[in-house]
Amino acid sequence: MTDSEEKGKKAKFNQQNLHREEVFTDLTVGGIRRLSPVKQNGEPDKTRPILFVGQSQIYTQQGPMPVQFPIDAKNLQQAMDKFSEAMEEFVAHLVEQAKEMQRQEQSRLIVPGGPAAGGSNIILK
Q: What is the dihedral of CA 3, 5, 11, 12, to 10 degrees?
A: 160
User: CB count, 10 Å around CB of 57?
Assistant: 13
Is 54 within 8 Å of 32 (Cβ atoms)?
yes
Q: What is the pTM of this model?
A: 0.73
What does the pLDDT profile of the chain (125 residues) look like in tens digits? 565 566 668 999 999 999 999 999 999 999 999 999 999 999 999 999 999 999 999 998 999 999 999 999 999 999 999 999 999 999 999 999 989 998 888 887 666 665 555 555 555 55
